[in-house]
Amino acid sequence: MPNFFSPTRDALYAHIKLICNLTKQKVIPKPPHPDTLTEFDSRFFNADDIGYSTGNTSCAPLIPVDEVVTFKDPKCGQKKVGKGLVNVEEFFLSYTKATLACLGIRTWAPNLEDSHHSLYNKACRQAALMTFRQAALGGAYTYMNINKKYVVDLGLLVPTYNHYVHFLVTVTSW
């Protein structure tokens, strides 16, 4: 890990907590609803399907955006999350909900009982990293002194995400 990656890593951790509604310390994330997994598996057959759904701006959402309940407290402004201060803007909330709606995910919740290679977990990772990049480049994590060079470095972000979500969560509470 590069020397100056730590603030960006911490911002990614804060982002994951925020989209998982885990703004309080020592809270264990809830698993995805079984219906969510069934619906997801009936719609997506490979990683290309996920990329098409999230990367195509003309693609219709699979569920209405107002069915996405990822944010319990959707107030804009500064929020304390983990070690950092996050500047949450309306665009960040809307973009995250729209991304999840394109995937048919009502509540962002990776399946910790399955491999990080599962298609559903890849979709959760892609949604988290896409929305993190958008929020970070838009200034949401400026107060955490992130290095924007690392915000677009998937070679660092993907293993950092996998380690945090699929390893640290299984041995400790978020």
Task: Express each pLDDT in 83-107 by its tens digit.
Answer: 555 656 677 788 888 899 999 999 9
Q: Residue 168 gets which letter from DSSP? A: I
Amino acid at 138: G
Q: What is the mean pLDDT of the chain?
A: 83
- Residues β-bridged to residue 81: 84
**C-alpha–C-alpha distance, residues 91 and 48, integer Å:** 26
Q: Does residue 3 have a pLDDT over 80?
A: no
Burial class (CB in 10 A: 0-12, 13-18, 19+), 127: buried
The band of 119, judged by pLDDT with boundaries at 50, 70 and 90, is very high
Residues 153 and 125: their CA atoms lie apart, in Å, by 14
Other C-beta atoms lying within 10 Å of the C-beta of residue 111: 17
The pair of structure tokens assigned to 149 is 């060079």
pLDDT, average across residues 112-126: 93
pTM to 2 decimal places: 0.86
Question: Can you tell me the distance from the alpha carbon of 161 to that of 20, in angstroms, rounded to the nearest whole number?
Answer: 13
